[in-house]
Chains A and B, each alone.
Chain A
Amino acid sequence: MISLILRTATHFLFTIMLQFSLFLLLRGHNEPGGGFVAGLMAAGGFALYTIAYDVAATRQALRVDPRTLIAVGLAIAAGSGLLSLMKGSPFMTGEWGHLRLPYLERLNIGTPLLFDTGVYLTVIGVTLMIILSLAEE
C-alpha cells in the first residue's frame, strides 16, 4: 500500500526520530536515556521508513547490513571495556577524560559513552535485522 500522506510525514518524522535517538543516546550520560532506548528509537525510525516505502529502500537508506551494525556495536562495547585494562584497572572500569569547549562548562567524556554507542549500534542492528527479515517474508 502506497500512501502519499505517510510518505510525506515519514520524511519529517524519520529525521526527527533519528535526531531524537542521538539526543537520547547523549542524555543517557547522566539522565534517563542511553544506548538501548536510543537504539530502539532509531530502529523505530527505520521501521517507519520500511512501512512507508519498502525493505529495499530501507536497506539502501541504511547503507550497511544490519549484521555489520551488530558486529561493530558489539566490538565497540567490548572494546570500551578493554581501554581500562591498558591502564591496569579491571575490565569495564570507567575511564574519564575532560573536554573544554567554548560556551560550555567542562564536559566529561568517558568510556561509558563509548559503551553506550556500542549498545546503540547493536540494538539498531538486531531490531532492524528482525524487522527487515520479517518484512521480507
Chain B
Amino acid sequence: MRLLLIAPILIPFFAAVAALTAWRRRPLQRAFGIAGSVGLLLAAAGLFESVRHHGIQSVQIGHWPAPFGITLVADLFSAVMVLTAGVVGAAVAFYSLGSLDPERESFGYHPLVQILLMGVCGAFLTGDIFNLYVWFEVMLMASFVLLALGGERAQMEGALKYVTLNLISSALFLAAVGILYGVAGTLNMADLSRKLPEVPSGLVTTLAMLFLVAFGIKAAVFPLFFWLPASYHVPPVTVTALFSGLLTKVGVYALIRIFTLLFVHDTGYTHPLLLAIAGMTMVTGVLGAVAQIDFRRLLSFHIVSQIGYLLMGLGLFTPLALAGTVFFMVHVIFSKAALFLVSGVVCRIAGTYDLKKLGGLYRTAPGLSLLFLIPALSLAGMPPLSGFVAKLALIEAGLATAQYAVVAVALGVSILTLFSMMKIWTEAFWKNPPEPERPREEKSAAPRLLIAPISALAILIIILGLAAGPLMEIAAQAAEQLLHPEGYVESVLGGIQ
C-alpha cells in the first residue's frame, strides 16, 4: 500500500534515469520510455483500486510525522487523476514510437516525457503545498525542454511565451506559499485546512486570490489563457497531446484542491467569482476557436474553453457539480489527447495542419475519420459519449442551484463547440481536396502504432459514456471526499490534535 502511493512517482523516475544511461541508443530509450509509461499505468490502476476499496491513503515520506514532513495523499480524486495521466502517458508513449523524428528521440525526448509524468503524478499525490510547488517546477522544467526540443523557429517563439508566463505564475505561487506560511505557520494542506479558519478572513481571501492568479495562469483560465494558443501548436503533436491532456489539468487540479480543502471560509465571495471566470473562459475559448483555420490552433482554443466547464463545477460547489467536474476532467483529457493525436495522423497523411488545404480524408482514411468523430462529438456533448454525461451533470447542478446564466453559457458554448468540430469535419474530412494533383506518396496509410493509441482512447471515451452510471458513482464518491475534507485531514494527521 505504501509502495503503491510512491510507485507513480518512482516508476517514471527510474525509467528516466535508465533512459539517461542509454543516451543516443534509440531502441533502448524507446524501450525504457514504454516500460515507464506502461509501469505507471499499472501502478496507477493498482492505486486507484486500492483507494476505491480502502479509502483515502497517505504515507509520510521519511517517517517524519505529518505537519512537519512531506505527506503523500491519495484520495479518490487524486487516484482518478493519476490513472488518467497513466492512460494518456501510455497512449502518447506508443504513439511517439511511430511519429517522432530520430533527432528529437536521441536528444532526450523519452526521459523528458518520463520526468514530466513524474512531475504530474507528484503534483496529484502530494499533500504539502510547497511540495506541490516543487512538482510544478519539475513538470515545467521538463515541459520547457520538450516544447523547445528540435529548435524550430516557431517552437522558440512559442516556448518564449510559455516560459515567461509560467515563470511569472511560479513566482506568484511561491510568494503566495510564503505568505501562507507566514500567516498559518504550516504548509501541510491537511493541517492548513484546520488552521486557516483561525486566520483573519480578509487575509485568507487575499491569499486565495493570489493562488487563483498563479494557478489560473497555469490552468489557462480567462483572462490569463493567451499563452496557451500561442505555444501549444508549435511542438511535435505527441508533446501537444501530452501537454493538453495533463499540464493545464494539473493547474485545474490544484485549483480544485485548494478551493475545496483550504479556501472554503468565504464561498459566497470566492466561488461566484470562480463561476464568472468559468463562464468567460468557456466563451472566449470557443469564440477564439471559431476563428481559427489551423487544426491544432483550433484545438488549442478548445482546451481553454473546456477548462471553463471544469471550473464551472468547482464554482457551483455542490456534490453533483463536483462529481461532474471529476467526470469531465477524465473525459476532456481523453478527448483532447485523442483529437491532437488524430491531428498528427492527418498531418502525416496530408502534410499540413491548414484546414483550407486539407480535404477528402473521409475517402482516403475512413477509419481515421471515425476516430476523429468519436472524441469530437464527445467534446461537443453528444449522447451517448462521455461528454454528454459530464455536461449533463454540470448543467443539472447549475439548474439545481439556479445559476441560469452559467447554464445558458455552457449550453451555448456546447453548440459552438459542435459547430467548430463540424468545421474541422467538413474542411478536413468531407469536402473535396482542393488540389487533387497532390503527389501520391504523401498519402501513405497511417501506421498501426499511430492508430492503436487513438483507438484505445476512443474506446475509453465510448466506455465512459456507456458505463456512465457506475463511473459517475465513483465521481460522486470523489466529490463527496472533496466536499468533506475531514476524511482527508484524518488520513494525513491521524490522531494528532
Q: How many residues of A contact B (CB 8 A)?
A: 18
- Which of A70, A78, A85, A92 contacts B20, CB < 8 Å? A70
Determine the distance from Cα of A75 to Cα of B19 in the docked complex, in whole angstroms.
Answer: 12
Taking the complex as formed, is B404 at the interface, i.e. its CB lies under 8 A from any CB of chain A?
no
User: Are A91 and B62 closer than 8 Å at their CB atoms?
Assistant: yes
| Number of residue pairs A-B, CB distance < 8 angstroms | 44
Residue total for B at the interface (Cβ-Cβ under 8 A): 16
Q: Which of B4-34 contact A (CB under 8 A)?
A: 6, 10, 13-14, 17-18, 20-21, 23
In Å, the complex CA distance between A68 and B21 comes to 6
Q: Are A93 and B63 in contact (CB under 8 A)?
A: yes
B63: chain A residues within 8 A (beta carbon): 84, 89-90, 93-94
Whether B2 pairs with A71 at a CB distance below 8 angstroms is: no
A67 close to chain B: CB less than 8 A: yes
Please give me the residue from chain B that is nearest to A79 by CB atom. Answer: B14
Residues of A within 8 A of B18 (CB): 71
At the interface, yes or no: B132 with Cβ under 8 Å from chain A?
no
Interface residue? A52 (CB, 8 A):
no
In the complex the two chains form, is B20's CB within 8 Å of A71's CB?
yes
Cβ-defined contact, B17 with A91, below 8 A: no
Known: A70-B20, A85-B2. A90 touches B10 (CB 8 A): no
Complex interface: chain B residues within 8 A of A91 (CB): 2, 6, 10, 59, 61-62
A75 in contact with B6 (CB, 8 Å) = no
| Interface pair A71/B21, CB less than 8 Å apart | yes
B60 on the interface (CB 8 Å rule)? yes
Would A90 and B2 count as touching, CB distance under 8 A? yes
Cα A71 to Cα B28 in complex, Å, equals 15
Are B61 and A90 within 8 A (Cβ)?
Answer: yes
State in angstroms the CA–CA spacing of A67 and B24 once bound together: 11
- In chain A between 6 and 29, which residues have their CB closer than 8 angstroms to a CB of chain B? none
Q: Mark A27-61, 1 if CB is under 8 A from B, else 0.
A: 00000000000000000000000000000000000
Q: How far is the CB of B22 from chain A (nearest CB, A)?
A: 9
**Chain A, range 78-104, C-beta contacts under 8 Å to B:** 78, 82, 84-85, 89-94
Nearest neighbor of B62 in chain A, beta-carbon distance: A92
Contact at A71–B62, with CB atoms within 8 Å?
no
In whole angstroms, how far apart are the Cα atoms of A70 and B21 in the complex? 9
Please determine whether B3 and A85 come into contact, CB atoms closer than 8 angstroms. Answer: yes
Q: Does A74 contact B (CB under 8 A)?
A: yes
**Nearest B residue to A67, CB-CB:** B23
The reply to whether A78 and B10 form a contact with Cβ atoms under 8 Å apart is: yes
Whole-angstrom distance between the alpha carbons of A40 and B177 in the complex? 29
**Secondary structure of the B side of the interface?**
helix
Which residues of B from 92 to 109 have beta carbons under 8 Å from A? none
Q: Is the CB of A75 within 8 A of B62?
A: no
B contact residues around A90 at 8 Å (CB):
2, 59-63
Quick one: which of B17, B21, B62 contacts A78, CB cutoff 8 A? B17
In the complex, per-residue mask of B21-56: 1 if CB is within 8 Å of any chain A CB, else 0: 101000000000000000000000000000000000
* Complex contacts, A89 vs chain B, CB 8 Å: 63
Q: Assuming A71-B20, A71-B21, A85-B2, is B61 touching A92 (CB within 8 A)?
A: yes
Q: Name the A residues within 8 Å of B59 (CB-CB).
A: 90-91
Cβ contacts A91-126/B at 8 Å (1 or 0 each): 111100000000000000000000000000000000
Most chain A beta-carbon neighbours within 10 Å: one of B13, B23, B63: B63
Which residues on B sit within 8 Å (CB–CB) of A93? Answer: 62-63
B68 to chain A, nearest CB (A): 14
User: What A residues does B10 contact at CB under 8 A?
Assistant: 78, 82, 91
Q: How far is the CA of A125 from the CA of B173 in the complex (A)?
A: 30
Interface residues of B in 200-245 (CB under 8 A from A): none
Distance to closest chain A CB from B20 (angstroms): 4
User: Which B residues lie within 8 Å of A94 (CB)?
Assistant: 62-63
Query: In the complex, A82 Cα to B62 Cα: how many Å?
Result: 11
> Does A75 contact B14, Cβ atoms closer than 8 Å?
yes
**Contact, CB under 8 Å: A67 / B20:** yes
CA distance A90 to B2 in the complex (A): 7
Q: If A90-B60, A90-B61, A92-B61 touch, does A74 touch B17 (CB 8 Å cutoff)? A: yes
A71 to B21, CA, bound (A): 6
Q: Which residues of B contact A85 (CB under 8 A)?
A: 2-3, 6
Given contacts A72-B21, A84-B63, A92-B61, 12 further A-B contacts (CB under 8 A): A67-B20, A71-B20, A71-B21, A74-B13, A74-B17, A74-B20, A78-B13, A90-B59, A90-B60, A90-B62, A92-B62, A93-B62
| Residues of A near any B CB (own CB < 8 A) | 65, 67-68, 70-72, 74-75, 78, 82, 84-85, 89-94
9 A-B contacts (beta carbon < 8 Å): A70-B20, A71-B18, A71-B20, A75-B17, A90-B2, A90-B61, A91-B6, A92-B61, A94-B63
Closest 10 CB pairs of A and B: A71-B20, A92-B62, A93-B63, A71-B21, A91-B6, A74-B17, A90-B59, A75-B17, A71-B17, A92-B61
